[in-house]
Amino acid sequence: MTSSDPSQRQHAPAAERNREPILAVLRRVLPASGLVLEIASGTGQHVTHFAAALPELVWQPSDPDAGSRASIAAWTAETGLSNVRAPLDLNVERTPWGVDAAEAIICINMIHISPWTATQALFDGAGRLLGSGGVLYLYGPYRRHGAHTAPSNEAFDQQLRSRNPAFGVRNMEAVVALGEAQGFACGEPVEMPANNFSLVLTKR
């Protein structure tokens, strides 16, 4: 699906704020070339920003929401980038994903706004798609050792759970353990602005 209608473009202020700090980490951890699959791409602001900054990589955005896919396509058309593929209708809990292999997978701000089964499915799929040395990059808020890292995160967690009891800020250790069960080694968490973290997991 492609679109050149600017009215389809959605804007997320958080994506504008965090795209540069995230890009700084991605520059260090992503491979020099290959396919990067983005899970839950949302508006498309992230993928187009990253694709413009890292043109040697091919970017495959995805989102299960049709409105988000239209926004991704519109952002891509607006930027004229040739290294961003048309967005996939991808729900991590449904297989196949529509991608057979990738050099890296990134997933930004999904784990806390989806059921835990989605996180499990994310790691299952990443284990299938990524070869040895493949990178899984995760960004978002986490609890550490069972405790929130800031009062604002605790309030956010309560807000999420009131909207859907299956949502919520996850324990970082539980997420890392899921990765280890799928053959991923997690490096030292990277502290990010606004009490978020980057987790970089590498397939053994």
Q: Looking at the domain assignment, is residue 1 inside a domain?
A: no
Identify the CA nearest to 76 among candidates 8, 150, 155: 8
Number of domains observed in the structure of the chain: 1
| Global confidence as pTM | 0.96
Vertex 159, ends 14 and 112: CA angle to 5°? 60
* φ, ψ of residue 107 in degrees (nearest 5): -145, 110
Residue in the block written with tokens 């990443």: 126
Contact 111, 121 (CB under 8 A): no
Q: Looking at the domain assignment, is residue 88 inside a domain?
A: yes
Residues ≥6 apart with Cβ < 8 Å to 91:
64
Q: Looking at the domain assignment, is residue 28 inside a domain?
A: yes
pLDDT by residue for the chain (204 residues), tens only, comes to 444 577 898 999 889 899 999 999 999 999 999 999 999 999 999 999 999 999 999 999 999 999 999 999 999 999 999 999 999 999 999 999 999 999 999 999 999 999 999 999 999 999 999 999 999 999 999 999 999 999 999 999 999 999 999 999 999 999 999 999 999 999 999 999 999 999 999 999
Dist. CA 162–CA 165, nearest whole Å: 6
Residue 184: the pLDDT is 98
Sheet strands (E) in 9-99 = 34-39, 57-60
Give the residue numbers spanning the domain of 34.
6-203
Contact 112, 127 (CB under 8 A): no
Residue 195: the pLDDT is 96
Identify the CA nearest to 19 among candidates 75, 58, 73: 75
Dist. CA 149–CA 154, nearest whole Å: 8
Q: Looking at the domain assignment, is residue 16 inside a domain?
A: yes
Residue 182's identity, in one-letter code, is: Q
Dist. CA 142–CA 86, nearest whole Å: 31
Look up residue 3 and give its two tokens.
């679109």
- CATH code (residue 41): 3.40.50.150
